[in-house]
Structure 1
Amino acid sequence: MSKNKDCKICDMSTFRMDFSIINYCQNPANDGCMAITAIPNPERYILEERDGKRGYWDKLDKCFIPKEVCQKIAKNMMNLPIIAPASKIEDLNKYFNDRYFELDKYWSEEYEYDFSLDNNVLTNFNSGNDKFFNFMSIDMVESTKRSGVLDSKINFKVINLFLNEISLIIRQFEGHIFKFEGDGLIAFFTDNNLLNKIDNSLDSATAIKIFVEKYLNKFLDEKGISKIDFRIGINFGKSYVGVLGGKNELCGYDLNVACKLQKLANKNQIIVGSNSVKLSHTIWRKKLKKIKINKRKLKKEGFDEKMEIYKLNV
């Protein structure tokens, strides 16, 4: 099939390609590895000809990937291990139930929370350089209003419980806590595999939403306390890694974007920036829907009205 309209070549700066494994077998070298045959995911890509070139049309990003680009990708992948996103949780439902039955212990006055930060992870990076991370910003909604209704001691315990549980989930998905801010936190996801950073953060945000809505709020209801609402913002990009005040710090535009996206989210909503979306696996792309934000809100947060923003449907 030959087509000439809308022949936009893919943007290599934010490019990823999803493959489907169609066959695998023991490596002839008998070294314990598997040899696989994979093709561009047929759910996402259509093989066709555009402007005299053979290649794949990406139905999600509406762009054309020339065959020579695909061949280059395949060549670069030869003999490399396939790395899947790591999670320390084998059974998510079991984890949620186990945590639910542990909440009473954490609610007790005797329990001391460990709100240590993971800035030490940044020592693995060369200080004074820009590095790529996927950032997550999360906080409670209407916490000021809650503080005026709840007994101050009870409110303090609710915030502690919330921060403890979400930080534990983030760490289960290879995320790291950068800082706690009042009733919220900022986390960063880093991995040797660029795309794992994206998958892990989306997995983590999904798990947080399910746990807070179905388990933590159920526990609070049993205590006669109103439910917690929250907002999550996620964005991928560069951050400067350096030492400030004697500790490792992150600083950069893309980190700030994650925080501002969180402020644009509605109650219990996960908002994701276009940088993260473009690097997301097809499975996630199906759940990420572009949304319109009030222009006044965008301007208030310093965003251009053309800013592409997505929500993650869980």
Structure 2
Amino acid sequence: MENPRSFTFNQFDVVSEVSGHHYLSSSNGSDRFTDFRGAVYKKIMKEWRILQKNLPESIFVRVSETRIDLLRAAIIGATGTPYHDGLFFFDIAFPPDYPSQPPKVHYRSFRYPLNPNLYCSGHVCLSLLNTWRGETCERWNPSQSTVLQVLLSIQSLVLCENPYFNEPTVRRFKSPLDTESLKYDRDAFVLTCKSAIQLIRNPPEGFEPLVTAHFRERANAILAACEAYANGRARVGFYRDVGSPGRQGKNKISKKFLVSMEWVYPEMVEKFKGIGAPVESAAEKLRLGAEAMKKKKEIARRQREGVWGKLVRKMKGILGMKKKKKKKKKKKKKKMIID
């Protein structure tokens, strides 16, 4: 269940232009976008009507009255995923022969590799866009497919629970609790937090009120989730809200994740305060429990030891194995003598 919003920002709206759009500098290539009697123009107007009537509360779209071939969309990450409470922006362009070809979609990535289908370059890998192989029924169908379907697919199939399994080389029958899957979730959450920081610094034009209002409202929940995950009180993606940790139980505290959270957390507190979020009660630094503190001390100790310390530990491990082997050989010899 999604968190209800207290702020108002229209799901769909027409604006004069979409500044900074990834495809803005590219020529629209045809007068088909200005010929209101043409098939392409009429199809795009139909797309606008579909979006206006059917967008879910977690997706927002702005279209341009001067360049009807361009639109920009924002998607809120769903609960139950490592992308919860994040904002994800996509620049979309209709080709001149639309709908014969699917729209072009560019993800505003900040160069963060937070999903197997969303590249650092902004490329979006999705069967519906014909950018990934798939069954015929999954690919773009000019007579049926729509931009709304593209946005819903990105939200449900890309920004999903267990994104690690979107990797084509990963075997699907593995458990969601697979070590690599959990590690990927932690990394994705950290990069979602870093993306939030970047968006507050530089929100896409036309979406400034959404970025400010969304993070102002969700700030405390995001910070509480950071603490719960860093202390192993909840599995990444399943912190429901302030005061309700979601899936509880003992969760492994990752050293890498702990270090990342200790950097990200104060950065977010600072940015949230800058937009007027009510985070006065939030700690300036990440609050860690006994187990997390123990892990932190271990990290600090290993950092002090450096490369030499790693070599010493390896040598001790090797020598320990040799001693065990020698003991086993002695025991075997004793047995042989007794026999």
TM over 0.5: no
Going by fraction, where is helix more abundant, 1 or 2?
Answer: 2
Going by fraction, where is strand more abundant, 1 or 2?
Answer: 1
TM-score by length of 2: 0.23
Q: Which structure is larger by alpha-carbon Rg, 1 or 2?
A: 2
| Structure with more contact order per residue of length (Cα contacts < 8 Å, sep ≥ 6) | 1
